[in-house]
Amino acid sequence: MFEIKHTLCPSCSVGCGINVILDGEEIVGTFPYKRHPVNAGKNCLNGRNSIDCFKDKLENVDLNKAIADASNEIKSANASDVTVICSGNDTVEEIEAIKDFAESNGFNIGFYANDLKNFDDVASYEEVAHASKVFVIGDLLYENPLIGRRIVHAKQNDAKIFALGKNENSVTFNIADEVSNSSVQEFLDKFNGEIDESSVVVFNYVDEAEDLDKLESLNCKILPVFSKPNTKGALNIIDSKSSDEMAELFDNTKLLIVFNDDVVDEFDYDFTKVSKIISLSCCENDTTKIADIVIPIKSWLEQDGSFVNAMGETQNFNSVIESDNLGITEVIGELNK
Q: What are the pLDDT digits (tens) for 197-231?
A: 999 999 999 999 999 999 999 999 999 999 999 99
Task: Quote the pLDDT of residue 46.
Answer: 86
Partners of 31 in the β-ladder? 19
Distance of CA 224 to the CA centre of its chain: 12
Task: Report the chain's mean pLDDT, rounded to a whole number.
Answer: 93
Report how far residue 250's alpha carbon sits from residue 271's, in angstroms, rounded to the nearest whole number. Answer: 8
Q: How many helices and strands (H and E) does the chain possess?
A: 14, 15
Average pLDDT over residues 273-289: 95
Output the CA–CA distances (angstroms, integers) from residue 89 to 9, 115, 151, 254, in the order listed: 11, 16, 26, 24
Q: Specify the pTM.
A: 0.93
Strands 199-203 and 178-180: unpaired
Report how far residue 191's alpha carbon sits from residue 90's, in angstroms, rounded to the nearest whole number. Answer: 37
Average pLDDT over residues 70-90: 97
Cβ neighbors of 40 (< 8 A, separation 6 or more) are: 34
